[in-house]
Amino acid sequence: MNSEDTMKPYVIGLDLGGTNSVFGIVDSRGEIKATTAIKTQGYDNVDDYVTAAVDALQIIIDQVGGIEKIKAMGIGAPNGNFYKGTIEFAPNLSWGHNGIVPLADLFSKKLGIPVALTNDANAAAIGEMIYGVARGMKNFIVITLGTGVGSGIVVNGQLLYGCDGFAGELGHVIMRRENGRSCGCGRSGCLEAYCSATGVARTAREKLNTTQEPSLLRDLKPEEITSLDVSIAAGKGDKLAKDIYEFTGEMLGEACADFAAFSSPEAFIFFGGLTKAGDLLMEPIKRSYNEHVLKIFKGKPKFLISGLEGSSAAVLGASAVGWDI
């Protein structure tokens, strides 16, 4: 450890999600010393968002001894460009979907420390590789199932960035060419439109509309149904809710069968709220993968759920980007 790391023993990690922004102050061993959060979408423009974020951060920065103890900040964000420190046309961010937002620069100016930024799913993949179930792995794919579907792809021990920083948008692989659902990206039939938490809620509304099947979900207002409601109903043995997970898992398994042909990963690691459904989701994924995959990849990868609590993987992964500056 160099003297600067001793003088500045912490970095800030920000997991910027479609709903919440979670901040953690992290030491070099990967221990999160303090956390805070704000709502991502509650602001009209990015300047208001950054101001609110820095106000919330100030409290936990003071807890660890002030900004002079902080070496840098790392951010994991949707449509984040590692090379430029920007968020570009992020469909699920109200203040970030219309253009290019120089977020790393905005935070750097406000805080007076270096700031690096990467795609949110890449941050989760780094978190898994350093602190989680992917420790020791050189080839794996992290698939995040949140407001959208993201992916972080590690090949030969390195995160895949591509020529522009945007490699690994597996949530926008088209799964349905005919009559595909509209996706936030402006195209139709994307994996994200079906297998994100938002997609699961859409599937629930479709099934309730098109069938007469009795379900606990019928007690709720259709427009207010969330993936958590579907998970709770499925846990109580509700057939319609279980069918929704069957449909979602089957499509994810089919997608993973295609992804295996690209990088032959030793594991697919699932991360995010939807994984709380456990085997209800994982069993159909595995079954569908083996049904659709090319023979040479059959039965090879492990299908794992992130062992890192809540948004810890993404916060830790984002902080790792900060240590690397």
Q: Work out whether the CA dihedral 273, 276, 282, 283 comes out positive or negative.
A: negative
Q: Are strands 115-119 and 70-77 parallel, antiparallel or unpaired?
A: parallel
Mean of pLDDT values over 272-296? 95
> Following DSSP, what letter does each residue of 111-138 receive, concatenated?
HTS-EEEEEHHHHHHHHHHHHSTTTT-S
pLDDT digits (tens, 9 = 90+) for 119-147: 989 998 999 998 899 999 999 999 999 88
Task: Examine the pLDDT at 71 and tell me if it is beyond 90.
Answer: yes
Query: What single-letter DSSP state applies at residue 18?
Result: S
Q: Which of 315, 272, 269, 310 is nearest to 31 (CA)?
A: 315
| pLDDT tens column, 253-269 | 999 999 999 999 999 99
Distances (CA, A) of 98 to 46, 88, 170, 248: 11, 8, 22, 30
Average pLDDT over residues 16-23: 91
Average pLDDT, the chain: 94
Whole-number pLDDT of residue 244: 98
Q: What is the pLDDT of residue 5?
A: 64
pLDDT tens-place string over residues 145-198: 988 999 999 999 999 999 999 999 999 999 999 999 999 889 999 999 999 999
Give the integer Cα–Cα distance in Å for 277 and 69.
40
pLDDT of residue 202: 97
Please state, in angstroms and rounded to a whole number, the distance separating the CA atoms of residues 66 and 185.
40
CA dist 128 and 244 (Å) reads 28
Selection from 272, 271, 214 nearest residue 243 by Cα: 214
The Cα–Cα gap between 209 and 225 comes to 13
Nearest one of 274, 325, 324, 320 to 32, comparing CA atoms: 320
